[in-house]
Amino acid sequence: MLPAPPPPELTTRSRSWERRRKRRKRRLVLFGLLAATMSVVVCTVTAVFVHRTGEQGPETPKAAADQLLRSMSQNSINEFEQALCEPKRNQAGATLREFNRGLIDVGQELRTINWSITKETRRSSTEVELDVGVTFVVADKRTKERADRPFPMRLQALKTNGWYICNIEVLTL
């Protein structure tokens, strides 16, 4: 003889069990949508970051020199760093501080930097040397007297995905 079947209340599922199952299913779908949305956001941000860091540099060596000197006059470390070639970028802060510290005497402040490119020498299709006549306009803090200081420089520009400055040489007068 076979055992008797269980009563119907044990074999049918209650309404509360059905409601819990629907809630779980809804939660699972919502968490899935949230995870998909977050992954799309992360991928988009990463793509934008990679695109921005992979931008090309200035199109000409003169434009690269202008960007470097403009960043020096504005004391902008970020722009200064972007004007340098890849191996020199980690030294950008120290280089800019050295220029700011060593070029101006105590008690003076830098007003502006004027420059003109006096000579362009092509070493190869990817290397150019630029002689730049730089003039620092400094003012004495006490007397407010302004003075122009000539400061000739030689910049080496290399072409790698745009033109970047790789060497800064201060020429003696």
Range of the domain at 27: 8-53
pTM above 0.75, yes or no: no
Residue 1, in any domain of the structure: no
Based on the fold, state whether residues 157 and 75 are members of the same structural domain: yes
Based on the fold, state whether residues 152 and 73 are members of the same structural domain: yes
Query: pLDDT per residue over 102-116, tens digit each?
Result: 666 666 777 778 888
Based on the fold, state whether residues 107 and 151 are members of the same structural domain: yes
Of 15-19, 34-38, 55-59, 130-134, the least confident: 55-59
Q: What is the mean pLDDT of residues 34-48?
A: 89
Residue 2, in any domain of the structure: no
Distance CA 67, CA 120 (A): 16
The residue that leads in pLDDT, 49 or 132, is: 132
Based on the fold, state whether residues 97 and 162 are members of the same structural domain: yes
Based on the fold, state whether residues 99 and 149 are members of the same structural domain: yes
Q: Is the pLDDT of residue 32 over 90?
A: yes
Residue 40 — pLDDT band, cuts 50, 70, 90? very high
Residue 166, in any domain of the structure: yes
CATH code, domain with 65: 3.10.450.50
Q: What is the mean pLDDT of residues 115-119?
A: 87
